[in-house]
Structure 1
Amino acid sequence: MLQKFQNHLRDTFQFLDGKKILLATSGGKDSMVMVHLFQQLDYKIGIAHCNFQLREMESFEDQNFVQEYAVANDIPVFITQFDTKAFAEDYKVSTQVAARELRYNWFYELLETEKFNYILTAHHADDNLETFLINLSRGTGLEGLIGIPEQNDKVIRPLLAFSQEEMAEYATLNNIQWREDSSNASDKYLRNKIRHHLVPLLKELNPNFLSSFHKTQNYLQEAQVMIEDASIMIYQQVAKQEEDTIYFDLKKLQQLPNYQSYLYQWLKEFGFSAWDDIYNLVESQSGKFVFSPEYRLLKDRDSLILSPINSADESEEYFIAENQKEVNIPLNLTFCKVADMSIVSNKTIFVDADKLHYPLVLRHWNEGDRFEPFGMDGKSKKVSKLFKDEKLSLLEKEITWLLCSNDAIVWIINVRQDERFRIDNTTKNILKIQLE
């Protein structure tokens, strides 16, 4: 196995040569085989061990075993202890999820503080098969069936090409000592049930099952790459991004065969889980929306609009003092007295400074707000009616701010100025207000 492993490193992970690598070591057979292999090949290694304190004294015996092995073999060793159960209770997650979160956060800290280049774990081919079967039983998408990646950022799994049988044979031939995790014998966990009962049956039915599975998984990975490439090309035709908001053209989307699959590809990274609700959104009326923890998908006329959830309080107000030159929150405005007017636009207005009463107020619009649109000779109009006439989306309405003097609207920012504060023949002081 040593020669095969060396060849595998040369063909797949040649970039590890000369690098400082951190081996995640539980003390079990797999991780101790990994440590031994890298020792034989004379790599620059360190050992990292997490004591999750889940098995009482056994956990501390594992810790002592790893520490003694590292000291005896002159290998730098890093050990930490976690109150995993308390973490799981605090964050309302399973102990398995808690342990994963804790260990990888710590591993990445060690990369930075101890100047290691990569973290290596001892996952092997049987682990990969078990993960596939777990995901298959849970009905995950294609991503859950393509298996454990050989490399994910700084995390590398160099033993995925090797079976449990190869690992066990190597450990026996080289008299490698390890610690047996007593929880591995229990069928309490789904992974153990699959490991003890299903995988042996599959191997009995087909002695080359692991090899066949590896080929199938390669095909699935190739299919996933093809799907991602197609998804990117179609996205460029259907979607338009403006800052942190994405607009999906519904007419173009609905022309796609099986457009639900494309929506899944585009939205899965944004934390959505209510996929049926998302697919139904396409045919629903304007104003309907679906939330993920951090994003909202909104149906608005001929678009689906994806945007971060706006955490601002709609009743929030910002005050602007007289002679204040600029505002940076909630948006960037500048105030400057000028001798005459230049070009007026949605982003720049000129007002009679003597008609203003301070402090000016920046706020969101409210139902029932009225103003006198510039150029309409004093005729009053509801702000909501202007939004409708301007065909503003629900999202655009939400993020629109009003600049007010007392209770009068001076400017619906980036939309329309109010007539009451315009420059006229009696104006002596002109104030230029600009949205940067």
Structure 2
Amino acid sequence: MSIFLNNVKVAISELIAPGDRVLVAVSGGADSVALLFLLEQFSKELGYELYVAHLNHLARGKESDEDADFVVRLAEKLSLPIIVDKIDAAEKKTFLKTSFQESARILRYQFLEKTLMSIKGNKIALGHTADDRVETVLMNLLRGAGIKGLVGIPEVRGNVIRPLLSFNRADLEMFLEERKLVYRIDSTNKETKYLRNKIRHELIPYLKTFNREISGNLLSMSEIAHEEDLWMSEKTHELYNQLVTSQNGGLCIEVAKFENQPLAMKRRLVREVFYRLKGNFREITAFHVKQVLDLFALPKVGSSIMLPGSVRVVCGYEMMCFSKTDVSQPPEIDKQARKLKIPGVTSLAQIRLQLHARFVNPPLPESIDQKQAYLDYDRTGELIQVRFFQPGDRFIPLGMQGHKKVKSYFIDQKVPREERPFIPILTNADNDIIWVYGERISDPFRAAENTKKVLLIEGKGL
């Protein structure tokens, strides 16, 4: 057995265990064809099972169809089961709001994950090489990545493995040539309009005029970065569990505790929160991380920024909150006042709330929930309306004597700015505020010991 084959066998045995069911992604190109034949060569000896998968992106017309047919014949030649699907990546890129290549990548991984489940497999094998890793490191450098970006492509990520990541593309092409194995050549691989191709055909050759060993040096740097990143990631996860809390579907960090951390850890915490919300690091750059750090450094309640992937960062009272936001259509609130049904139930579907109104007999309970209001019906009058905040709103908060602006009340109570428009406000026929729902009733309308007719209004979620 040649040194090359022996090294490949060792690499495979470190990633695949006996009894594994492996889905091999095969495009038809040199790397994936070499991967398939190498995996098949050692499958019986190492005791794993292989399936083949191919996704036709419909990107190159007849050429794409010919790629699919080629992979089917390849699988049949090796007597391996194959799953083929097709999807129009160009059509889907509008929905995914990203470039064609990124859309194709996302769709390809979705197809592989779905197929892996259908065959009850446990690993997906991809044909990335050391050359791909070098190209990825340079791509990440160009877009302003940190240490994690210098790692390039990991050998293992979840159920995805890359057995050939330590081998050069030239090694694989030599293997194919020796075995007289044919493969497909993607005509778009030479088009430099794509960043990876431009790096492969223009940047790397140019860098080699300065140092012929540039690819090897970048790989060595990548390995060092990988080891250091593993250690730092462990520390980041420990701190994440201490500082980050879940609130209203988002993730929040106390500003003061965050600011006490070293700058390097701050950067990693921001990236970790982004990853937890979005599921990947795509599109997040050093520039975006700096934007968030600047927000922490000069926190102003209500200030916010949008990050890629519809991740919104909002500065609250003592907290910075990250959330995944649908920016396409902000929620609309009906400004029209609605009459409260007394007794009865009034539904506010737009905020998923029902207000239940009924008369109760004294005495009043000692403890009253914030979602309950015990009111003097003789003071409120028969007409009670429900609306939302309006500029200039004033009321007399329970326990106070003078009027206070509702806006000032919200600020004093540290009610987040983004929540204020969705808080119901109950008024009487003269538009005097009776109750700021969930916050405070207005003192003149409170039920007292001598109240003859007590009206209870309480809110319940839909």
Partners of 2:73 and 2:387 lie apart in 1 by 65
Q: 1:115 to 1:354 in 2, by over 3 A?
A: farther
Aligned to 1:226: 231
Aligned to 1:18: 19
Confirm whether residue 382 of structure 1 aligns to residue 397 of structure 2.
Answer: no
Shift of 1:179: 1.7
Q: Could you tell me whether the CA contact under 8 Å between 1:321 and 1:359 is conserved in 2? A: no
Q: 1:390 to 1:151 in 2, by over 3 A?
A: same
Instruction: Output one character per residue of 1:180-201: Cα deviation in whole Å (capped at 9) or x when no partner.
Output: 2233344444433433455467
Query: Is the partner of 2:67 in helix, strand or coil?
Result: helix
Partners of 1:32 and 1:308 lie apart in 2 by 39
Shift of 1:171: 1.5
Q: Which range moves more in the overlay, 164-173 or 395-404?
A: 395-404
Q: Could you tell me whether the CA contact under 8 Å between 1:414 and 1:435 is conserved in 2? A: no
Confirm whether residue 400 of structure 1 aligns to residue 406 of structure 2.
Answer: no
1:261 is matched with which residue: 242, 256, 267?
Answer: 267
Q: In structure 2, give the amino acid aligned to 1:26.
A: S
Query: Is the partner of 1:18 in helix, strand or coil?
Result: coil
Aligned to 1:153: 158
Q: Which range moves more in the overlay, 97-106 or 396-405?
A: 396-405
Instruction: Output one character per residue of 1:282-316: Cα deviation in whole Å (capped at 9) or x when no partner.
Output: 32654432223634333456543445559432445
Q: 1:203 to 1:315 in 2, by over 3 A?
A: same
Q: Which range moves more in the overlay, 171-180 or 424-433?
A: 424-433
Q: Could you tell me whether the CA contact under 8 Å between 1:321 and 1:358 is conserved in 2? A: no
Q: Which range moves more in the overlay, 174-183 or 356-365?
A: 356-365
Confirm whether residue 412 of structure 1 aligns to residue 436 of structure 2.
Answer: yes
Q: Could you tell me whether the CA contact under 8 Å between 1:351 and 1:423 is conserved in 2? A: yes
Q: How does 1:117-132 map to 2 (within 5 A)?
A: 117-132=122-137
Q: How does 1:41-190 map to 2 (within 5 A)?
A: 41-42=43-44, 43-88=48-93, 93-190=98-195
Q: Which range moves more in the overlay, 332-341 or 170-179?
A: 332-341
Partners of 2:232 and 2:147 lie apart in 1 by 10
Q: Could you tell me whether the CA contact under 8 Å between 1:320 and 1:358 is conserved in 2? A: no
Confirm whether residue 321 of structure 1 aligns to residue 337 of structure 2.
Answer: no
Partners of 1:314 and 1:229 lie apart in 2 by 44
Partners of 1:136 and 1:386 lie apart in 2 by 49
Shift of 1:213: 3.9
Query: Is the partner of 1:26 in helix, strand or coil?
Result: coil
Q: 1:112 to 1:296 in 2, by over 3 A?
A: same
Aligned residue pair count: 433
Q: In structure 2, give the amino acid aligned to 1:409.
A: I
Structure 2 gap ranges (5+) = 279-283
Partners of 2:303 and 2:94 lie apart in 1 by 35
1:3 is matched with which residue: 6, 18, 36?
Answer: 6
Aligned to 2:304: 289
2:452 is matched with which residue: 394, 415, 427?
Answer: 427
After superposition, the CA RMSD in angstroms is 3.7
Partners of 2:444 and 2:254 lie apart in 1 by 39
Shift of 1:257: 4.5
Partners of 2:325 and 2:385 lie apart in 1 by 24
Aligned to 2:390: 366
Query: Is the partner of 2:151 in helix, strand or coil?
Result: coil
TM-score normalised by L of structure 1:
0.82
Q: In structure 1, give the amino acid aligned to 2:292.
A: I
Shift of 1:431: 2.2
Q: 1:168 to 1:274 in 2, by over 3 A?
A: closer
Instruction: Output one character per residue of 1:190-218: Cα deviation in whole Å (capped at 9) or x when no partner.
Output: 43343345546767987876555444222
Q: In structure 2, give the amino acid aligned to 1:30.
A: D
Partners of 1:149 and 1:238 lie apart in 2 by 28
Q: 1:99 to 1:426 in 2, by over 3 A?
A: closer
Confirm whether residue 278 of structure 1 aligns to residue 279 of structure 2.
Answer: no
TM-score normalised by L of structure 2:
0.78
Partners of 2:153 and 2:383 lie apart in 1 by 60
Query: Is the partner of 2:222 in helix, strand or coil?
Result: helix
Q: 1:429 to 1:416 in 2, by over 3 A?
A: closer
Q: In structure 2, give the amino acid aligned to 1:291.
A: M
Shift of 1:128: 0.9
Structure 1 gap ranges (5+) = none
Q: In structure 1, give the amino acid aligned to 2:445.
A: F
Percent identical pairs in the alignment equals 27
